[in-house]
Every structure is written in C-alpha cells, then in structure tokens.
Amino acid sequence: MICREVIDIIERRYPREYALGWDNVGLLAGRDDKEVGCIYIALDASDEVIHAAVEQEADMLITHHPLIFSGMKRITNEDFIGRRILELIRSDVSYYAMHTNYDVMGMASRSGDLMGLKEPEVLEVTYEDRAEKTEGIGRIGRLEKAVTLRQCCERVKQTFGLGSVRVFGDPECMVERLAICPGSGKSVIKAALRKHADVLVTGDIGHHEGIDAKAQGLAVIDAGHYGLEYIFAEDMRGYLAHELEGVRVMAAPVRHPFVTV
C-alpha cells in the first residue's frame, strides 16, 4: 500500500475539511508515493519520536500536533524544526499530521465516551453543513449521577491514568453536567458556561482563566494538554490496524513531557 492510499483511508473518517481554518493538517513532508509497510503514531513529532520511528523502520509517521505549523521560509539544520524535517526526509519517512480534524471527528466523542457522558452533545460547534449536521470541539453531557468535584477529579485521574490534576473550585461542591475538551481548553470556557456545565475537564488553564471560571460558577479540572490527548495514538493505531491489511501499525508509548517534583 502506498502513502496516498493510507491518507485516503484516514481522511475517509477524519476529513481535512473538518479542521479549523488556522490549522495545518495533511502530508507535511515526504512522498505520497512511498510504499508503506510500517506506520508509527505519536502525539508530537519530537526528536525521540522521530528517532523511534526511524529505528522501527517506519515508512510513515502520523502525529496529532503538526510539526510544521506556521510558515517556514527555510529548512536547514540551523533550527530544531528544520533538523527534524531533514531527518524525516533523509530517512524517507512520509510525515502526516491530523490535528483539529481529529479533535472534531475523534477526540471529542472518544473523550466523552471515556468519561461515561450521558446524552452527549457537541460543546462548541465548528462545522455545520447544509443537512444541518453539526460537529465541533469537545463534548458536554451529564454524569450517571452527581458527585463531588473531588470525586470527579478522581474519576478523571483513573480514566486517563494520571497521578494528579489541578482543580479550580470547591472540592466538595456537587457536579453532574460535565464538559470535556482535550488539549488547550481556554477558548471553550464561554461555551461551557453557556451550556450550563458544572465542571470543565481540559488542559492549559492559566491562573486568570481558572479563577474567572470559578467566579462564574464553573469548576475546572486541568488534566494537562498531554494528559488527555495522548489517547490519540492508541485510538488511531486501533483504527489503522483494522483498516490496513499487511501494514504494521505502532503507537508511541505514553510518556508525559514533564515531571512534577
């Protein structure tokens, strides 16, 4: 199977048209006619991930976050992005990124399912077609029963295998209507408030966003950017392993990018 055929299978389920306008998704480096016998999947195209992909003799690397995001005028060994691109090309690894199209068509529903949301709906609509089909970022629904915010934190930690989370809100307050937005969720706080969420589970919440949300009656559980989004790699591994006969599909091991000391 060649690279463009793999891309067709990916985009059948996660069309590029669902990506947000500012995003950069698709084949970002390498050949679309590359014969693919092994695929390596990770959240980020870090030095360690690229090294592992090359070591595993992968023909294609797929990540959630795009290595090339804003415009580049030069690709040289003088900066770390350039060095990574050069290594991918030198090793003949075709590199593909699927970011907000996966957020909309995969991450949102997957994270909501993991949290056991009842009657889930789109948290923030980003796509609507003529048939009035709506898709978007995050999910909101209700838990099976109301729990304390502290108990909700424990559920998040258990569900996503986390040692700790940051929480804005009274740990003993009761929550039932839950919104979840893996990644950076500052932009969906207004949507969570508008849809009457009791708690928002997300990442990358700063001091001011957290205390302002709390002041408006919205508790926030910050589980970290990686802490929620790492589910991408295994989810995509399962999908492609099922769809691609004769292709070895590997997911990078879960490895949080920081430690708490």
The pLDDT tens digits of the residues spanning 195-252 come to: 999 999 999 999 999 999 999 999 999 999 999 999 999 999 999 999 999 999 999 9
By DSSP bridging, strand 134-148 and strand 118-128 are antiparallel
Write down the pLDDT at residue 174.
98
Beta bridge partners of 199: 178, 219
Please give the helix or strand (H or E) that residue 177 lies within, else none: strand 174-184
pLDDT surpasses 90 at 70: no
Domains and CATH numbers, the chain: 3-98+230-251 (3.40.1390.30), 102-225 (3.40.1390.30)
Write down the pLDDT at residue 260.
86
In this prediction, what percent of the chain has a pLDDT beyond 90? 95
What predicted TM-score, i.e. pTM, was given to this entire model? 0.96
Query: Tokens 């991918």 — which residue?
Result: 88
Write down the pLDDT at residue 86.
98
Task: Output Rg (C-alpha) for the chain, integer angstroms.
Answer: 19
The pLDDT tens digits of the residues spanning 125-158 come to: 999 877 778 999 999 999 999 999 999 999 999 9
Write down the pLDDT at residue 111.
98
Alpha-carbon distance of 253 to 260, in angstroms, equals: 19
Alpha-carbon distance of 249 to 144, in angstroms, equals: 35
